[in-house]
Amino acid sequence: MRILFVGDVFGEAGRDALFHGLYKIKKREKIDFCVVNGENSAKNGRGMSGRDARDIFESGADVITMGNHVWGCPEFEEYADRLSVLRPGNLGKNRPGRGFMRVDVAGTPLGVINIEGRAFIDPPGDSPFEFAEAAVEALRGAGVRVILVDIHAEATSEKKILAMFLDGRVSAVVGTHTHVQTADECVLDGGTAFITDVGMTGISRESVLGMGFKGVYERYALGRQARFEPLKAGTPEIDAVVIDVDEVTGKALTIKRIKETVTE
């Protein structure tokens, strides 16, 4: 099975890049299943509206994962239980939405888990390790062997620790949140694919992690209360990884990075 995971979709530019580029990647890479992180896909880069979710699904996503901005659009709570959308399961346990789910891909059960880290991130969730343990146990107990984990975290060490903790029990642990694609993709000894961060989808090269330079510079360099504004013009890119998984054992065979400039 070939799984495509797409890094954080940022604002309108990210949704446009996804619309124009995702199907081409899926066709070229012969993708069976696609997961997209959408927690920055709202117009202001915080959260995801119902329309944003529809745009991402129409672009070719099968499941959408979220992160620390999951509550950025209040309407998320209205559709969280109806769509194939996950939120970090260790963040706000009494709020609407799910932290993991099972789907069937051409007769093969597949599980997706969404977790948030606790180090240097706001708001911090409950223990990612305890939630991961419970979610993996539930899925494997139901006969699911192909399992993908999105760990939305700031600390690189926390992501790697979770991957090593789950090595051999899940197919892949992919990091999101920092918007910078790392070059450490590998398959760990137990058969779990890992990358510290998949990157972002949108205007990356000309922006500061998706935001325009001016507001970020004024706040951090000059100490002003400037607004961060998502950049809309520039070079649209899709950051992603393709993971080959043995459907019987659930072990990852390969993991490959993609950083693709999108042209209409």
The catalytic residues are: 69
- The rounded Cα 173 to chain-centroid distance in angstroms is 10
Residue with tokens 């209409």: 264
Give the integer Cα–Cα distance in Å for 225 and 240: 34
- The rounded Cα 231 to chain-centroid distance in angstroms is 20
B/e letters for 246-257, b = 16+ CB within 10 Å, e = fewer, are ebeebbbeebeb
Token pair belonging to 70: 């999951």
Token pair belonging to 75: 């309407």
Please tell me whether residue 77 adopts helix, strand or coil conformation: helix
